[in-house]
Amino acid sequence: MSTHAELAERHGTPLYVYDLDRVDAARRELFAALPAGVDLYYALKANPHPDLVRALRAGPGRPCRAEISSVGELAAALAAGCPADECLYTGPGKTDTELDQALAAGVRLFSVESPGDLRRIGAHATRHGVTADCLLRVNAATGTATTSIRMTGRPSQFGMDSETLPGLMPELLAVPGTRIVGAHLFTMSNAKDQAGLFAELEHAVELATRLAHEAGLPLEYLDIGGGFAAPYAVPGRRDRYPRLRAGLERLLDERLPRWRDATPRVACESGRYLVGDSGTLLTRVVNIKESRGSTFVILDAGINAVGGLSGLGRLLPAAVGVEGPVGDLRASLVGPLCTPGDTLARDVPLPALEPGDVVAVPNVGAYGVTASLMGFLSRPAPTEVVVRAGEVVSVSRLEPRRVHEPVKAAVG
Ligand SMILES: *Cc1c(COP(=O)(O)O)cnc(C)c1O
């Protein structure tokens, strides 16, 4: 067994520690909260670490499929043992190179975000001599729950506007190299509560069935999205959804009476719920300073290691919290970077700390390393340690490095 203090001593800080037992538990609990037979896609965006992706495939229980959006994520999914025909390729800007590589690898299911996206997928599929199965991602005109991250209801690069989709259907159904097999709705992240989550999923089912009836949208496969909530960089635990399964079963029985025979096959997707609580960031206090009555605890990890997207107002650690009893100290937690933006928490209660102490930032298994500003200020990326049953199973580090290429002559 290795304690956090021992791991920090042995591997240095900043150090991410991922616990695969927690990944197993999250997968088990999320599958249990969904009706039997519903597919679950893991959004690799949350954390493409190969051991985590592999854990979501392996072991007892149903494996997660992979929701991918780049050639890097495609490679990570394949390397983790997810077959290409269990990958869903998404994203508003799929390039020629990535479509070519995805089709060559055997990916056949794509989420389509626009007519142009569909035509490009079709052209590449035709060149490969195959047909691409396509889910039309729908940007609903109206939403329900309030969440931190909304992706529908307004103009968006994501999905096709639900109000104009019926008029486009004949054209979309005729794109060579493609077969429209269903719909993809992903309207939010991090639902406020069980009722909000259910309302959003209900809305997704209702919209998809309406488009099937009124606009002839084929419905062999229906990805109703997600929004399963998990804390980020603060203490706390994943939401539990004790009534979701029965609620969804009732809803699907009512709207899609043959769903139990996989007509349509139904899917959900999640990133943060599956891996968020598996990760802890260990960071060391480098210095403590006072300035005009305020205290700053300066850590060796900043927005280059965690919460790097907070500047965009997304995925924000409103305030990073640390594990352990809170003492009398009130201070701001800042990183080592030369920018005032490198602030992880402002004026929060903290345990008594001294330089050299290790603090643990919990719930950073999702949107940790790869969602941070790794390249900024040219510090090494944090080491990532994976443990199972308290034993270390792997130690690795992402290494951003410059690769030189030949200088090409100007054309003309
Ligand atoms: C980001 C994303 C997810 C994962 O979101 P979480 O909040 O981490 O569950 C799932 N699906 C799509 C389409 C996404 O863009």
Ligand 1, closest atom to CA 270? Answer: 9
Task: Could you list the beta-strand ranges (E) of 140-229.
Answer: 147-150, 160-161, 178-184, 188-191, 221-223
- pLDDT attached to residue 155: 84
**With a 6 A CB cut-off, is 90 part of the ligand 1 pocket?**
yes
Residue 348's φ and ψ, nearest 5 degrees, are: -115, 155
Q: How many CB atoms lie within 10 A of CB 257?
A: 10
Task: Please spell the DSSP secondary structure of 69-129, one letter per residue.
Answer: -SHHHHHHHHHTT--GGGEEE--TT--HHHHHHHHHHT--EEEE-SHHHHHHHHHHHHHTT
- pLDDT attached to residue 98: 96
Distance between Cα 126 and ligand 1 center (Å): 29
Ligand 1, closest atom to CA 226? Answer: 9
Distance between Cα 403 and ligand 1 center (Å): 31
**With a 6 A CB cut-off, is 232 part of the ligand 1 pocket?**
no
The length of the chain in residues reads 412
Tokens 């529908």 appear where?
A: 152
- pLDDT attached to residue 141: 84
Tell me which residue has its CA closest to atom 12 in ligand 1: 186
Tokens 């616990």 appear where?
A: 19
Tell me which residue has its CA closest to atom 2 in ligand 1: 43
230 vs 217: CA distance, rounded Å: 33
Residue 355's φ and ψ, nearest 5 degrees, are: -55, 135
**With a 6 A CB cut-off, is 272 part of the ligand 1 pocket?**
yes
Task: Please spell the DSSP secondary structure of 328-392, one letter per residue.
Answer: SEEEEEE-SSSSTT-EEEEEEEE----TT-EEEE-S-SSSSGGGS-TTGGGPPPPEEEEEETTEE
Distance between Cα 335 and ligand 1 center (Å): 27
Q: Which of 231, 227, 239, 238 is nearest to 201 (CA)?
A: 227
Q: Which of 408, 280, 406 is nearest to 13 (CA)?
A: 280
**With a 6 A CB cut-off, is 43 part of the ligand 1 pocket?**
yes
Is residue 130 a contact partner of residue 109, using CB atoms and an 8 Å limit?
no
Spell out the per-residue pLDDT of the chain, length 412, in tens. Answer: 578 999 999 999 999 999 999 999 999 999 999 999 999 999 999 999 999 999 999 988 899 999 999 999 999 999 999 999 999 999 999 999 999 999 999 999 999 999 999 999 999 999 999 999 999 999 988 765 444 455 556 788 899 999 999 999 999 999 999 999 999 999 888 899 999 999 999 999 999 999 999 999 999 999 999 999 999 998 899 999 999 999 999 999 999 999 999 999 999 999 999 999 999 999 999 999 999 999 999 999 999 999 876 544 443 444 566 777 777 889 999 999 998 889 888 888 888 899 999 999 999 999 999 999 999 999 999 999 999 999 999 999 998 889 999 999 888 7
Tell me which residue has its CA closest to atom 4 in ligand 1: 271
Domains of the chain plus CATH, in order, are: 20-275 (3.20.20.10), 277-397 (2.40.37.10)
pTM metric for this prediction: 0.94
Ligand 1, closest atom to CA 228? Answer: 9
- pLDDT attached to residue 1: 57
**With a 6 A CB cut-off, is 271 part of the ligand 1 pocket?**
yes
Distance between Cα 228 and ligand 1 center (Å): 9
Distance between Cα 223 and ligand 1 center (Å): 12
- pLDDT attached to residue 315: 37
Structure tokens at 230: 């998990």
Ligand 1, closest atom to CA 190? Answer: 7
- pLDDT attached to residue 309: 66
Tokens 């030949």 appear where?
A: 406
Nearest 10 degrees: CA dihedral of 268, 271, 277, 282? 180
126 vs 116: CA distance, rounded Å: 15
Distance between Cα 347 and ligand 1 center (Å): 31
